[in-house]
Structure 1
Amino acid sequence: MLYGGFFYGFLIIIHRGTGRIRLALSSQHYLVITALGADRSGIVNTITRHVSSCGCNIEDSRLAMLGDEFTFIMLLSGSWNAITLIESTLPLKGAELDLLIVMKRTTARPRPAMPATVWVQVEVEDSPHLIERFTALLDAHNLNIAELVSRTQPADNGNNAQLYIQMTAHSPALDNATIIEQAFKALCTELNAQGSINVVNYQQQDEQDGVS
């Protein structure tokens, strides 16, 4: 902590010498945090309260239950002091809560335009490698997978286990949606799966509406 405080002060002196102190003080810093541990009441609120007490803002987050474990992923923003504070204190808080904490500094970058969006839903009898088949299909058509959710319904009453898949993918250009739609339907037929695909090309819609 003493070293961190000294380093921050040194940065201020350097920026004063170049006349850019305002930029240094107002710039935002970003940190990705993953917390993994046994689920129990109040655990998420405890984490978010600690984030707020350090002066950080939650820009984005994801929460998922996997078996008896939960995983909580957050993108935090804040001043240099705020991010440094949570970097130094969250591991101790994680130890108190019996959580595995992973942290990594990152930067805020403008996302490239992705005018084409594809939504996929699949229900199929569970077997190995099924998710890989559908992710490979999207990848083969240059689609960037932005979200993937899957769950397995255990076998019961003589019914086989069922796998449910939901995916969202984006592409900077998708000139012919029919190609991916036909390939998806062919894969569903091969795997004896029930599936639906919805493709929206915002660029084409804008052109049809007369928006340049």
Structure 2
Amino acid sequence: MSTHKTFLVISALGRDHPGLVNDLSRTILEQGCNIEDSRMTVLGGEFAAILLVEGKWNTLAKVENALPELERSLGLTITSKRTGERERNTDKVPYAVDVIAMDHPGIVNNLAGFFAERQINIEDLATNTYAAAHTGTPMFAVHMTVGIPASTHIATLREEFMDYCDGLNLDAVLEPLKS
């Protein structure tokens, strides 16, 4: 008996209004599928979602067939793509990276470049801006999860990362991911 799961990745983007998550999740549930993982947020005035939907091949087909009507009724742009299970890479160690700095262009690109040069995969990334307490200074925060090759000397990497961030005036933390 196969335990191979089948998935559908759905992305949705459109003007934000109440009820979007309810309608989107209800449609998936009514077709006999389950949301296994998701990210949903409002960016500017736009609702943005990316969902990993799990189901049998035929129930995923029902979701795919329901998407055009859902797109029309909710005023969203929806795309989808079939995918398989994620390969678990046992030679990668998950680490959390948190960076805070005064907001300025290029922070994400600089961080991505640091990790890309070292063949370290960014597996999850979220950013946000906010006003600093008391001063109102525009601040920028980055939280990411990276997969560090097990062969990497962590103390050396941490030292290189901290020096790199100090050079860019970024406050940073690199620590093992806590479950």
TM-score by length of 2: 0.87
Q: Please tell me whether residue 165 in structure 1 is matched to residue 142 in structure 2.
A: yes
Q: Structure 1 regions of 5+ residues with no counterpart?
A: 1-21, 201-212
Q: Please tell me whether residue 117 in structure 1 is matched to residue 94 in structure 2.
A: yes
Aligned residue in 1 for 2:23: 46
Aligned residue in 2 for 1:135: 112
Aligned residue in 2 for 1:186: 163
**Could you say what the CA RMSD is over the residues aligned between the two structures, in angstroms?**
2.3
- Once residues 47 and 114 of structure 1 are traced to their aligned partners in structure 2, the CA distance between those partners, rounded to angstroms, is 36
Q: Structure 2 regions of 5+ residues with no counterpart?
A: none
The structure that has the greater radius of gyration is: 1
TM-score by length of 1: 0.75
Match of 1:147 among 108, 117, 124: 124
Higher normalized strand content (fraction of residues): 2
- Once residues 133 and 4 of structure 2 are traced to their aligned partners in structure 1, the CA distance between those partners, rounded to angstroms, is 55
Task: Give the stretch that moved more between structures: 150-159 or 76-85.
Answer: 150-159
**Are the counterparts in 1 of residues 4 and 85 from structure 2 also a CA contact under 8 Å?**
no
Q: Please tell me whether residue 198 in structure 1 is matched to residue 145 in structure 2.
A: no
Percent of residue pairs identical: 32
Aligned residue in 1 for 2:74: 97
Q: Secondary structure at the match of 1:192?
A: coil
Count of residues in correspondence between the two structures: 177
Q: Secondary structure at the match of 2:111?
A: helix
Distance change >3 Å, CA 118–CA 174, structure 1 → 2: farther
Residues 41-96 of structure 1: per-residue CA shift (max 9 Å, x gap): 22101111110111112222111221111211111122232111111111111111
Higher normalized helix content (fraction of residues): 1
- Once residues 171 and 5 of structure 2 are traced to their aligned partners in structure 1, the CA distance between those partners, rounded to angstroms, is 46
